[in-house]
Amino acid sequence: MTDLSSSRRRALQCFAAFSAAPVVWPALAAEGGLPSAAHSDSSPQWERVAASLFAGRTPRAGRDVVQLHVPLRAAYGASVPVKVVSALPQTPQLFVRRMWLVVDKNPSPLAAVLDLTLEVGQADFETRLRVDEYSHVRVVSELSNGELHTDSRYVKTSGGCSAPPNRDALHLIGKTVLKLPAGLKLDQPTPADVTVVHPNDTGFELNNVTVMYIPPHFVRSIKISYDRRKVFNADLDFSVSENPTLRFNFVPHGPGELRAEVTDSKDASFVGTLLVSGAG
Amino acid sequence: MTRWLTPLRTWGLVIALWASIAAVAAGLPSRYGATVVQPAGVPDRYEFDLSDALRRARAEGKRLYVYLGADDCPYCRKYEAFLQRNADVLVPHFAKDYLVYDLRSSLQVQADRLRFRIGNQSWSYKEFMQRLGDERARLLVYPSVWLLDAQGKPLMQMPAGTGTFETVPEQLEILRLEQ
């Protein structure tokens, strides 16, 4: 291999890292001029998103109803762990009926909209999001009485030089796996994981062989049911990381089938199921 | 035809620019008193021995600031240049709590050839990251920094790359282990 092709490959490796793990190009960041913000600050992007989503209603900021847990610096900007913790159990008197996850500075800030039922039991969620640059990540919870509550965290991400992402498992796209990481708890909120093998291509990633952008191809929705009863529906965007994963709760009252129905942006449909029987 | 010329020219310019950046001397600035660790087993593998680093950390009651750079990595040069520019402010903070180790690698060395050794035990990059409980097991990124205690336990999860601590306040955040 010539020096030129070797250099080109290395340059591509760096480009691949920055496009696959959508992160800001640090070489363009002015020394000493990187933006900094408090976790509770607003941003112009958030003002626009909030105006569009909530039409004049102002979500109440605080951590007494909903909390967002995100590291200040994650290992990778392409896979930032995000955890939402709700203070209220899901009861008929008062429950979380909708939840929004927003990454202010991403090209498409609205990462997920969750439409919840009482079957969730406890409206706690975990997932991994792409964070494109220094940005606030936000959650907004809408309660059944119409109240909106929000919490936010400021996240710093960047990149470096790395090998291109592994794309050897494209034949597995759509494989949907459900697990109960803590076993079964009858009549109680039971944690479950759903993972969809999917590249969740953003449309901003560079193919380092063709030097062309990879077209967007991402999971659009995941609908979770148990024993044919809706638990929640999630509308998702490409801000969710590769191989989208959601940890959620559901309340099993007896044996049944936990089911995930998945559709992606090319209108492909996938189904994953887990037969749940007996106490764990 | 014209459609192909433009990207090729662009790549050429980018490569030339990056090559010129990478041509600057590699490694952490001397004022930080870093101990340079060269890899063993080259070229089949690049194995970095951390035994002495841990022994010194225990003897001196200090933490380890372990930097993995590559000789041809523009982002490594950028971080090193940042440290050089701000040495007057940063060196005392590094010196107070940390022993700095500078592991010298190359971009062509990816996770499959990178290894770490402590005493008579040797681990691949992935194995070592898993042993540390470090999320960066998934992908090796240059440059990388690990903050370890004298027993070799990670002090906090660090990000891939150094782009989020290339200002003085942010570098100090890291040294103070703010998460």
DSSP B135: G
Of the partner residues B18, B107, B159, the one whose CB lies closest to the CB of residue A158: B159
| Residue A170 pLDDT grade (very low, low, confident, very high; cuts 50, 70, 90) | confident
Looking at chain B, which runs of residues are DSSP E strands?
Answer: 35-37, 46-49, 63-70, 98-105, 114-118, 121-124, 141-142, 144-148
Dist. CA B35–CA B103, nearest whole Å: 8
In a domain, A260, yes or no: yes
A10 contact B CB<8A: yes
| pLDDT of A54 | 94
What is the number of CB-based contacts under 8 A between chain A and chain B?
Answer: 121
pLDDT tens-place string over residues A66-112: 999 999 999 999 999 999 999 999 999 999 999 999 999 999 999 99
B111 contact A CB<8A: yes
Mean pLDDT across chain A: 86
| Residue B104 pLDDT grade (very low, low, confident, very high; cuts 50, 70, 90) | very high
Residue B25 has pLDDT above 90, yes or no: no
Q: Which CATH class is domain B2-175?
A: alpha beta
Contact A161 B162 (CB under 8 A): no
CA distance A6 to chain B (A): 9
B164 contact A CB<8A: yes
More confident residue, A163 or A228: A228
- Number of structural domains found in chain A: 1
| Full strand arrangement of the beta sheet holding B35-37 | B35-37, B98-105, B63-70, B144-148
Dist. CA B124–CA B105, nearest whole Å: 15
In a domain, A195, yes or no: yes
| pLDDT of A274 | 98
Contact B167 A160 (CB under 8 A): no
pLDDT tens-place string over residues A158-167: 766 766 565 6
Of the partner residues B72, B167, B178, the one whose CB lies closest to the CB of residue A10: B72
In a domain, A31, yes or no: no
Of the partner residues A27, A158, A162, the one whose CB lies closest to the CB of residue B164: A158
Residues of A in contact with B164 (CB under 8 A): 73, 134, 156-158
| pLDDT of B71 | 95
| pLDDT of A158 | 79
CA distance B90 to chain A (A): 14
A17 contact B CB<8A: yes
Q: Which of B179, B176, B120, B151 is nearest to B54 (CA)?
A: B151
| pLDDT of A37 | 85
Residues of A in contact with B167 (CB under 8 A): 31-34
Parent domain of A120: 3-26+36-276
In a domain, A176, yes or no: yes
Residue A49 has pLDDT above 90, yes or no: yes
Segments making up each domain of chain B, as ranges: 2-175
